[in-house]
Amino acid sequence: MIELVSAERCINCDLCVQVCPTNVFDAVPGDNPVIARQHDCQTCFMCEAYCPVDALYVAPFAERTVNVSEHELERDALLGSYRRAIGWSPGARAAPDQSFRLLRGG
């Protein structure tokens, strides 16, 4: 489930708002989008995959929310981890999908 929009990283591009298939986010003119309907999140990771600055964190639990700390997510390199796992990070070469490793812890 979507847990974080980083105020420090977000560039207000609203790609997350555009790609979310369940309309979880609300765009805020001149500011970061907000998670408006968190429990509608289907944990599809589309928002995290499309975020160009790794400002979003989707926890791999579709049925429950979890408390997250942006500092801990950064420390543990979890911001942008889904994009890296699927090879969508800047400069990444096409590679087999390794996203299943996120659920197994590496």
CB 6 within 8 A of CB 70: yes
Query: At residue 103, does pLDDT exceed 80?
Result: no
> Residue 89's domain is classified under what CATH number?
3.30.70.20
The 10s digit of each residue's pLDDT in 57-72 is 999 988 889 999 999 9
User: Any idea which residue has 């096409």 for tokens?
Assistant: 94
Q: What is the pTM of this model?
A: 0.83
CB 86 within 8 A of CB 97: yes
pLDDT digits (tens, 9 = 90+) for 34-60: 999 999 999 999 999 999 999 999 999
**Domain count of the fold of the chain:** 1
| Mean residue pLDDT across the chain | 89
Instruction: Report the alpha-carbon distance of residue 6 to residue 70 in Å, rounded.
Output: 7
Residue 96 pLDDT level (bands cut at 50, 70, 90): low
DSSP H helical ranges for 14-99: 15-19, 46-50, 70-75, 81-85
pLDDT, residue 87, reads 87
Token pair of 98 as six digits = 């390794």
**List of residues 6+ apart from 91 with CB closer than 8 A:** none
Question: Domain range spanning residue 74?
Answer: 2-104
Residue 100 pLDDT? 63
The tokens for 99 are 């996203």
